[in-house]
Amino acid sequence: MTYAKGQFQSYRAITKIHLGAISDNLSEGEEIEYDGHVLKRGSDEHSLHSLRAAIKVGWLVPVEDTSSAYVPQPAGVKVHKADGTDDRQEIDLDTVFETDVNVGTLDEVRPDAAPKTHKATAAGQQNSSEGKVVSRIKTSAKSDTVQIGKDDRQVVASLDNKSGIEVERVAVATGDVQEAIGGEDLTELLPDAESAGIPNPGPSGEGAGDQSESRARSAAGSTVGGADDGVVVARIGETSPDPSGLTLIQQFIPDFEWDMSIQWAKRVKIACEKYGDIPAVLDYINSVETETVKKHLAKRLAESKR
């Protein structure tokens, strides 16, 4: 077939044709005009030379042809053996049909002495394939406190580490105590007993553990002055703030107070950030603070002035 540019002929699509160049499709039965170069679809025109192939294979026929019908053609795909030789021969592909074939039943292979099969009609039915309940484990909904004496420390540690049971340590009744009392220190075990003279904990940051406790006991027994010398004016280890300095500061800062029970590092931070530019307050803090706090306070003030 020959084509002349500008001489359009009318064609009809007998099947759906995809036009890749313009990303569109020609629907079955759609009529177009084509001169071998330009495709006309209504008012649209597209340069499409590849449409000649559709005319050649019979997908586009002249409008006058009303008898032609689309006949699918094989794609001509050839399959070769997957081997490494150069001379690979073509092979034929067999069509596989998925069919269900009954090849036997379970009764044909089960031994004669085997128990009968049971098909469960509901979940949990006895002898079903889901299994059979042979036993149940029950746990108590309530748990009592386990009481262990002070000598059974190894048992207490084992229970604390291996279970979630809370162990209550019970002291053994001695002396004038008529019943066992639980507690962690002497004031809880002997609430009505006289004070042993152990002072309250000192400023936070002074010592730790047994050393701190030992120093507290020593301080409790050491005093300046005594019954023979007159009135006891102070105890060794106690820190007495300067009342005149505090009174002077409170004249300018009415709500000022210095809490020695706060952790020592936090006290250093408060002193630097809140009172770092007030010499009178810093002098008062240094007069009542521990050596540790004074050392770190001086270091931070020096670093802030660099």
Residue 152's SS3 state is coil
Query: What does the block give as tokens for 164?
Result: 């979630």
Question: Given a cut of 80, is residue 209 above it in pLDDT?
Answer: no
Question: What tens digit of pLDDT does each residue of 146-189 get?
Answer: 666 666 666 666 665 555 555 455 555 555 555 556 666 666 66
**What is the predicted pLDDT for the residue at 240?**
53
Domains of the chain, by residue range, sit at 9-62, 199-238, 243-304
Q: Which of 212, 184, 219, 183 is nearest to 198 (CA)?
A: 219
Question: What tens digit of pLDDT does each residue of 14-72 get?
Answer: 899 888 888 888 888 889 898 888 888 888 888 888 888 888 888 889 888 888 888 77
Percent of the chain with pLDDT over 90: 6
Rounded to 5 degrees, what are φ and ψ at 179?
A: -145, 160
Residue by residue, DSSP assigns 175-201 as: TT--S--B-SSHHHH-TTSPP--PPPP
Q: Distance of alpha carbon 64 from its chain centroid, rounded?
A: 74
The chain-wide mean pLDDT, for the chain, equals: 72
**What is the predicted pLDDT for the residue at 99?**
78
